[in-house]
Amino acid sequence: MSEIKVPFVSFRPLEKEIGDELRAAFDRVLNNSWYIKGKEDEAFEKAFAGYCGRKHCVGVGSGLDALMLPLKALGIGEGDEVILPANTFIATALAVTYTGAKPVLVDADLRTYNMDPAKIEEAVTERTKAVMPVHLYGQPCDMGPITEIAKKHGLYVIEDCAQAHGAKYKGQVIGSFGDAAGFSFYPGKNLGALGDAGATVTDSDELAKKVASLANYGSDYKYHHVYQGNNSRLDEMQAAFLSVKLKGLDKVNEDRRRIAGRYLAGISNPLITLPYVPAYAEPVWHIFAVRCEKRDELEKYLEECGVGCNKHYPIPVHLQECYKDLGYGKGDFPVAEEVAKTELSLPLYYGMTDEEIEYVVEKVNGFK
Ligand SMILES: *Cc1c(COP(=O)(O)O)cnc(C)c1O
């Protein structure tokens, strides 16, 4: 096979297909001359709430705010604790610390890389207010036991859905399990804007109203401020782009499954641990995470072969410098540390060609 280059991610194939629709959406907004909180926003919120099987969707400025604002709206703050996994993107923890509450970490399951439900209960104290399952890499968490534990201890469940738009747990779409869920539309996510954006979904009228208010300077009507809110609104331009892309989300996820299926069937190198898919899960493959004891060598080798890779994430939350005050240390979350040391993410994006997929498979199998 001749040498080619396969980037870690490319937006090109999708943008080629929907470029005209995106340009039409841009023109529509420009012709309207209305840029914040308008009908594009409303239309997307309605469509995305429907997609998630929820009553409300509140568009906000980022995935971070989509997680932080519902926590704040539920009254979580100083003196409270929120349980989340040690192996997640830093935003999950930041969403908690921005409210003044304390993140309490739990370790992952080494097979699914998701929060281990068995470890949640021992982290619960009388200060615990909520648990935040993260559907990491596009794999749904084991929501059955998580919901049960939360119910037993009277905890809110806020799902971090930033990597898993459309993934299903036992046939039910994620984002529809908790009291609220936060989505990111960062460009690289399965549903990505052409800039920063996010959304909170919920069935609660009261919570939706409060999140929307907190995202808009804490006001209920113009120049009347009930809360000391933020400025975190989904603008009309991004909402219009997102409406175009939401229509194609299932197709995008289907294509991601096709690529992941080829990797799962084709990669047979004994040095590589492939992702595991539990019977309850319908993942959407935001990340195709493999593990390898010689991860850094594998990464270097693949880069030399022209295959772009990434690590998600090289430093777990408990070992991040910004969180040294939490008092955690090395060895506290062995699974998260193992994943940080051995995980490598292979290229996976909508429209990857057969040649590109086969090239990655061949190179990964050729690693010694
Ligand atoms: C991307 C991401 C976020 C944050 O989303 P932003 O839009 O970048 O603020 C939160 N949690 C997880 C797991 C993510 O991957």
- The pLDDT value recorded for residue 334 is 98
pLDDT above 70 covers a percentage of the chain that reads 100
Is the confidence at residue 145, as pLDDT, over 70? yes
Q: Per the confidence metrics, is the pTM higher than 0.75?
A: yes
Is the confidence at residue 238, as pLDDT, over 80? yes
Distance 241 CA to ligand 1 centre (A): 19
359 C-beta closer than 6 A to ligand 1: no
**What gap in Å lies between CA 174 and CA 120, rounded to an integer?**
19
Atom of ligand 1 nearest to the CA of 95: 10
Please state at what angle helix 12-32 crosses helix 39-51, rounded to 10 degrees.
140
CB neighbours (10 Å) of residue 18?
16
Mean pLDDT of 230-248: 98
63 C-beta closer than 6 A to ligand 1: yes
89 C-beta closer than 6 A to ligand 1: yes
Mean pLDDT of the chain, nearest integer: 97
CB neighbours (10 Å) of residue 176?
19
Distance 278 CA to ligand 1 centre (A): 24
pLDDT tens digits for range 276-323: 999 999 999 999 999 999 999 999 999 999 999 999 999 999 999 999
- Whether the Cβ atoms of residue 51 and residue 166 lie closer than 8 Å to each other: yes
- Which string of DSSP letters, residue by residue, matches 260-284? HHHHHHH---TT-BPP---TTEE--
pLDDT tens digits for range 75-103: 999 999 999 999 999 999 999 999 999 99
Distance 222 CA to ligand 1 centre (A): 30
What tokens appear for 126 in the block?
Answer: 């009388």
Buried b (16+ CB within 10 A) or exposed e, 123-154: ebeeebbbbbbbbbbbbbbbbeebbebbeebe
Distance 168 CA to ligand 1 centre (A): 19
What tokens appear for 57 in the block?
Answer: 């969707």
Residue type, 33: S
What tokens appear for 245 in the block?
Answer: 């892309």
- The pLDDT value recorded for residue 50 is 98
Is the confidence at residue 244, as pLDDT, over 70? yes
163 C-beta closer than 6 A to ligand 1: yes
Mean pLDDT of 249-256: 98
Residue indicated by tokens 């609220």: 180
133 C-beta closer than 6 A to ligand 1: no
Is the confidence at residue 20, as pLDDT, over 70? yes
Q: Ligand 1 pocket check: which of 90, 92, 94 to mutate, most ligand atoms within 8 Å of Cβ?
A: 92
Distance 368 CA to ligand 1 centre (A): 34
- The pLDDT value recorded for residue 3 is 86
91 C-beta closer than 6 A to ligand 1: yes
115 C-beta closer than 6 A to ligand 1: no
**What gap in Å lies between CA 144 and CA 123, rounded to an integer?**
18
pLDDT tens digits for range 43-84: 999 999 999 999 999 999 999 999 999 999 999 999 999 999
Q: How confident is the model at residue 1 (pLDDT cuts 50, 70, 90)?
A: low
Residue 99's H or E segment, with its range, is: none
